[in-house]
Structure 1
Amino acid sequence: MSRVGMPDPSSAPQDNLTASTDAPMVSPPGNTSPNPRRTVQRKLSISEEAEAASSGRRQPPGFIRAIFETPFRTTTPTTRTTIGEATAYAMDTSARGPLNQVGGFIGNAILLLAIEEAATKPDGRVYGLKPGSLLTTATVITGIASAIFMPLVGAIVDHTRHRKAVGIITAFIVCVITAVQINISADTWFAVLVLEIFGGFFLIAHITAAMAYLPDLTEVEADLAHLTSRFNMVQYTFQLVYVFIVIGLVFGLQANTVKTAQMAAALAFAVSAIFMGYSWTFLFRKRPALSKVPEGENIISTGFKQIGKTAVKIWREYHALRWFMVALIWSPEAGAGVVLSIAVTFLTVQIGLTGGEIGIVNMTLLVFTLPGSAFAQWFIIKFNPLNSFRVSLIFFAASVAVTCVVMDSKEKKNWIYIFAAMWGICYGWVFPAQRVMQCTLIPRGQNNEIMGFFSFVTQILGWLPALLFSIMNEQGVDMRWGLSLVSFFITAAIFFTFLIGDYDKAVEQIQQENEREEERLRNEIKGYSSGSLDNIEVEA
């Protein structure tokens, strides 16, 4: 079965790793060149090799493919190909969008229900905490659990053939948890909060499995920048549509905060179940283990030992990657929804926003992620991913700081929509640059190992802002100081980006190592296709 822009398995070259791509010559107006076609020799990416090696037995009907896949297909600007796993990644990322947003609606309802219950208690606390500390405390638990168990997830992805299985299982669990949260009420809000902890953990595990596919999509940096920016834009577009529908239902049905959370959870479940189910069933491919479990070890011990070995190797051999990892410890993505939990708590308790108003803030933020993502793509190509990442962090830290200074009372709550626009540009800008750096600074053959290490790194101290916020709130400190912790942590990330050094030299070092490793991995994938490795066949 041949996909649009993909080589047919029956015609894929077997004696070398290049493909002839016949594409129409794009000519400027008035060009009368007699040669309308050109042939480009290039290496196939790992994703393209896996696509070619797939049995193709598990495919939906053509009209179903057209309906589900067309909105997510992206043609790379350099190689002019449409990669099946890029479509899958865009679809999975879009499914995660509503899952990210539903936390804001559910968190808002949890806080208001907790405040109502706390009002009936003599000390004004529930389960030993002020209501304003609940979300951030849950985030701390998720972050610490993720830091402990992500090495195991990374080991499974790296040392077994179950990368795809991890993606499927974690997606299923996250969807089920979201479905159960539809039942949030005054009697169940604490149980829903506990489910938020588990949902956050398994979502991080799912992202670890999904991100392992990212470096396989293409070896061309310009194409990777295009794809990551496109993924970001598609994700935020779907989040925007999702929030718009929720807001429409809220105002159309005059729903209160709890009903808003229930509707938001129901819609998030439907979207995530459909798109995650489709992408992981039909589009993502299996992969061979990148390396075997060392003799005398098991999969559990290997994960933790590998974290130590990976950290030592990165620290000694990859200067740029070392300091990029340190910067990520303090980045906005660090932790399990830390920024979201702090922001929702601040907006609900300090500013007094309702579920519908939280939705409008989210929608404003999402609208402005689109120009942020477009700007990120231009900035990455023009000034390289490192400079884009650094400048976006500077803008992010400044935006948070200004928000803290201005938002000093509920009377100024309308100002929050302006700051939501600024934050939206930041989110749309920072993550494409970060993703490109993650992919281009990883040596081939270690992509799953280091992608797992990325997830671990972002959890090492990611829970600390939420913990400090909870402690400050318990001591009666103004929540604006708690929100300012986000700015302080981002400032630390900015500092460490200046220690990364020359980005181009770092990429050149990685590319030299990649050339040696690519041949080995391609040969293993071909072995799966021919049945030479225990007659195992790569399936869809």
Structure 2
Amino acid sequence: MQFDGKKAVISWGIYDWANSAYATTVMAGFFPIFFKQFWSAGVDPTTSTARLGVANSLAGILMACFAPILGAIADKGTAKKKFLMFFAYMGVVMTSALYLVSMGNWLLAVMLYVFSSMGFTGANIFYDALLPGVAAEEKLDFVSSLGYSLGYLGGGLLFALNVWMALRPTAFGFANAESAVNFAFLTVGLWWALFSIPLFLFVKEPPSAKAKPGTNLVKAGFLQLRDTFQEFRHLKSTFLFLAAYWLYIDGVDTIIRMAVDYGLSIGFDSNDLIKALLITQFVGFPAAIVFGVLGSKIGARRGIFFGIAVYFLISIWAAFMQDKREFYLLAIMIGLVQGGIQALSRSFYARIIPADKSGEFFGFYDMLGKFATFFGPLLMGGTGIIIRVLGYSSDFASRLSITSIALLFLAGGVLFYFVDEEQAKQEARYLTEIKKGNTSS
């Protein structure tokens, strides 16, 4: 396989710079605030939280339905860049359209958010699938970390600009903060579209010896998906890891998507919450690399356990926060472990799957990561509604809802404890030998 060199590596990494603007400004930052204060103006905070939770869960469910076959098609075909472009620019258009949604029109805002989220996550399937063609095996960790780092930095820079516009709207020619925030959604679409171009121009998709045209490609994707499920019968330890990963990464994604909404629900000022998100972003830029080094020193397994433990404490502590300085401290803690737990989970998984099936198995891994946007937001929103129905205050319901996420970290940590890395490697080697035996016969 020929690799394209530094230009391709940088162009591939810049896409993370491009789409992370959506993750910061829209998903974690302004959308939860605008949804609660503008598009759901006058609605009970618990109800608006539940609506946002359902929106995030709906986007997760829809992508979970499509991601397995899309991942399998990506592994079989040579249309990764075309699929990536379709989903990326679907996300661009839907995100930009949020600029046009009027006050109180929460349903249209939800619909656009769901489709923009599907564009974001769908494009990432094919973005990840391009990585093996960009970097040689010994460079995969570096290039992957480069993408994470550029994502934190690029997303943080645009978010900082948008926060500045919201705090000083008249300096930028806006009548008020609401107009500035509304315009911020359009800047995300433009940023995402512009910085996606280098990937489409300079990253070449390697040809596949097993490429299938048209409907044959779809058929091949379904057949590969069937084979993947069958092979998991021989990979019990890998399957156990995926179950653990689904639980704890669901908790991570829920905190990313719902943290600002939660802060608003318990009475924190939106400006303080935005500042906390900026702290997370710029702490996460160097921390992702440092956490990776830590993992190489103490092992990915211990590093993942450390990240799970920190997140468990965060989800408990968050219920008792009273001061904005506590929220800032939690933002620092999240920034220290957020990128690290994602990176180490990916590297741990890479070591326990069959070496000759990495594309196929990472497609499944990526699908599971997308499905992880479903249960946590629904759990959080549903817990809040149940507590309110029982007659407790909105503040108490919101605080208890965040602690429900601790269950995901606890359950994920328990399952991960029983994952035997060496046994998983043996199972992977055994499966490879079976395949070779079948081929020779």
Q: What TM bracket, shorter-length normalisation? A: 0.7 to 0.9
CA spacing shift, 1:507–1:232, aligned 2, 3 Å: farther
Amino acid aligned to 2:162: V
Which protein has the bigger helix share? 2
Between the aligned partners of 2:274 and 2:341, the Cα distance in structure 1 is 22
Between the aligned partners of 1:450 and 1:512, the Cα distance in structure 2 is 13
Partner of 2:392: none
Q: Does 1:263 align with 2:183?
A: yes
Q: Tell me by how many angstroms 1:397 deviates.
A: 1.8
Partner of 2:293: 378
Partner of 2:156: 240
SS at match of 1:116: coil
Q: Tell me by how many angstroms 1:320 deviates.
A: 4.4
CA spacing shift, 1:272–1:428, aligned 2, 3 Å: same
Q: What is the correspondence of 1:188-227 to structure 2 with a 5 Å cutoff?
A: 188-216=105-133, 217-220=135-138, 223-227=139-143
The root-mean-square deviation of aligned C-alpha atoms, in Å, is 3.1
Partner of 2:284: 369
Between the aligned partners of 1:162 and 1:370, the Cα distance in structure 2 is 31
CA contact (8 A) 1:151 1:452 kept: yes
Q: What is the correspondence of 1:78-117 to structure 2 with a 5 Å cutoff?
A: 82-103=5-26, 104-117=29-42
Q: Tell me by how many angstroms 1:90 deviates.
A: 1.1
Partner of 2:410: 491
Unpaired runs of 5+ residues, structure 1, are 1-45, 52-81, 119-123, 518-540
How high is the sequence identity, in percent, across the aligned residues? Answer: 15
Q: Tell me by how many angstroms 1:245 deviates.
A: 1.1
| TM-score when normalising by structure 2 | 0.85
Q: Does 1:326 align with 2:237?
A: no
Between the aligned partners of 1:464 and 1:500, the Cα distance in structure 2 is 22
Q: Tell me by how many angstroms 1:291 deviates.
A: 3.6
Partner of 1:273: 193
Greater relative CO, 1 or 2 (CA 8 Å, sep 6+): 2
- Please list the CA deviations of residues 226-276 of structure 1 after superposition, one character each: whole Å capped at 9, or x if unmatched: 333332222111122122212222222267553243232122122211111
Q: What is the correspondence of 1:457-536 to structure 2 with a 5 Å cutoff?
A: 457-460=368-371, 462-477=373-388, 478-502=397-421, 506=425
Q: Does 1:456 align with 2:354?
A: no
Amino acid aligned to 1:502: E
- Please list the CA deviations of residues 419-460 of structure 1 after superposition, one character each: whole Å capped at 9, or x if unmatched: 111111121321221232344444345333222211322344
Q: What is the correspondence of 1:242-321 to structure 2 with a 5 Å cutoff?
A: 242-253=158-169, 256=176, 258-280=178-200, 282-289=201-208, 291=210, 299-300=217-218, 303-304=221-222, 306-316=224-234, 318-321=235-238
Between the aligned partners of 1:165 and 1:218, the Cα distance in structure 2 is 23
CA spacing shift, 1:188–1:510, aligned 2, 3 Å: farther
Q: Tell me by how many angstroms 1:200 deviates.
A: 1.0
CA contact (8 A) 2:159 2:278 kept: yes
Of residues 266-275 and 245-254 in structure 1, the stretch that sits farther from structure 2 once superposed is: 245-254
Aligned length: 419
Between the aligned partners of 2:371 and 2:156, the Cα distance in structure 1 is 31
- Please list the CA deviations of residues 125-179 of structure 1 after superposition, one character each: whole Å capped at 9, or x if unmatched: 9xxx922211101011111111111122123212222112111111111111122
CA spacing shift, 1:91–1:178, aligned 2, 3 Å: same
Amino acid aligned to 1:147: A
